[in-house]
Structure 1
């Protein structure tokens, strides 16, 4: 398929490249320049404007930070709804609120464009290795059409329900991930306080019930206090606010989700917004050292 891929960031760039290597013709666009090297190395092309990317596209893939970004790219005189042809498939890999996902899917349907929300989990490593978990919301026919694209970037692709359902599952995913990072950080700090060999301790934890994808992917960040962003803290804050909104709308009290959301929000206040979400451990370090770390 001829694909317009909008959003060539940490996640989007490798995903677009995988689609190109899978045999599709990918034309990428990013709002800030200088993000197209990975796609171009795979044989794809990049363009400076959204209308250029959309010209002749049979599918449009979005990987954008938040709902307003998706609505901006979809709407307006130069957006997808105005410029793409009827029948164009729209795949939104962004993580946004389910309400926005449903609204935009409805607008696309009115223009004859099938659309799926397909947020992903697996982080930068999962994107680079095409082993993301893809949570898909949408109508059956749209998901069927999109599946070859989804399987080019993901190892686990599951249709979880109608439009917006993928975003609900992603919100739940982000609660689990943030909770995992926080308790893993607490375990690391506890082990360090007792003078335990950290690498060996984490090896044995990884082999038992405490093992997790979070432990596997984030242990080096935590041990080395290295927080080059694979997934920025500010984005996880946004995702947890989405989850909190869903809980509030449903009359649910989720105490652990609420607590970890407060810790992530505090990390932003402490200046960690642009760091990897594993920087949650910095909050523990600050409290342990009296605010000096």
Structure 2
């Protein structure tokens, strides 16, 4: 059994923390909204009132918060992990943030006697609930081996991809591919519907060929039913596309499709869809096609 502090009990963090508790670990969670700790408490964990309280006895500190400034605040801010955790604690950042920020936080962690892994995840709410996440891990190989049993409790495909920041770089590539796939699927659905095709049947046969993808399998029902309850919000994908385009520019890499999709995601957000699931990119295709739904 490991003493684990889990900071951030949102759509993804809550089921992940529950899986760790169900695996027999002593998990203490903390979240801005204390109500989000209820599933963890029901699984045998406990809620803390502050980061300091959550991490004081932790061997491992897990972080799952929305953006780079949030991770910086949680780790290096006043009352944060660096000020209150045990020396030599292993910090696992499951958040999706800028690679350069991760590299800098890893440097600060080493100076303070901590170990930091960047371990962003892919799979959305369904993957988190089913402990089927893909986890791309950056950091020291030895720290990865120590953390592997914890990754196994929340994920299915777990790969050490390199040094600090590598996990975030791979996640940025993941988000580029996912956004492009969702946009293409959205366009295909609107195209099929315009011709009166049995769209469910069409997607079934498309899913069995080269056009098949995890995106098609997981998002087709959202699109067919126009139900966009967030599993992964457009607001967050907008943030991730900003990471992709900025990181590509820094290395002189041209991402024309990525840049276009980033603009379409931004448009969805400006049009009020930021709180919806990223499958709601479909609504943007409808707007452009003069077929906007309510």
Which residue is 1:18 aligned to?
A: 19
Tell me how far 1:32 sits from its aligned partner.
2.1
CA deviations 1:75-117 (Å, max 9, x no partner) are 2341111101111000000000000101111111111111100
| Divergent runs of 4+, >6 A | none
CA deviations 1:122-168 (Å, max 9, x no partner) are 00000000000000000111111111111111100000000000000
1:220-239 to 2 correspondence within 5 Å? 220-239=221-240
Which residue is 1:63 aligned to?
A: 64
Which residue is 2:249 aligned to?
A: 248
Secondary structure at the aligned position of 2:28 is classed as strand
Secondary structure at the aligned position of 1:34 is classed as helix
Determine if contact 2:283/2:293 at 8 Å carries over to the other structure: no
Which residue is 1:45 aligned to?
A: 46
Secondary structure at the aligned position of 1:159 is classed as strand
Determine if contact 1:130/1:152 at 8 Å carries over to the other structure: yes
1:108-257 to 2 correspondence within 5 Å? 108-257=109-258
Distance 1:247 1:162 in 2: 19
Secondary structure at the aligned position of 1:136 is classed as strand
Tell me how far 1:287 sits from its aligned partner.
2.1
Larger mean CA deviation between 126-135 and 194-203 belongs to: 194-203
Determine if contact 1:74/1:81 at 8 Å carries over to the other structure: yes
With the length of structure 1 as denominator, give the TM-score of the two structures: 0.98
Larger mean CA deviation between 218-227 and 68-77 belongs to: 68-77
Distance 2:55 2:253 in 1: 41
Secondary structure at the aligned position of 2:20 is classed as helix
Determine if contact 1:267/1:280 at 8 Å carries over to the other structure: yes
Distance 2:268 2:70 in 1: 24
Secondary structure at the aligned position of 1:244 is classed as helix
Distance 1:17 1:116 in 2: 21
Instruction: List gaps (5 residues or longer) in structure 2.
Output: none
Tell me how far 1:288 sits from its aligned partner.
2.2
Determine if contact 1:7/1:29 at 8 Å carries over to the other structure: yes
Secondary structure at the aligned position of 1:73 is classed as helix
In the comparison of the two structures, how many residue pairs are matched? 293
Tell me how far 1:292 sits from its aligned partner.
5.9
Question: In the superposition, relative to structure 1, how do residues 292 and 276 fare at CA in structure 2: closer, same or farther (>3 Å)?
Answer: closer
User: What value does the CA root-mean-square deviation take over the aligned residues?
Assistant: 1.0
Tell me how far 1:221 sits from its aligned partner.
0.6
Distance 2:240 2:72 in 1: 17
Which residue is 2:10 aligned to?
A: 9
Which residue is 1:90 aligned to?
A: 91
Determine if contact 1:77/1:83 at 8 Å carries over to the other structure: no
Distance 1:208 1:196 in 2: 18
Distance 2:235 2:37 in 1: 23
Tell me how far 1:3 sits from its aligned partner.
0.3
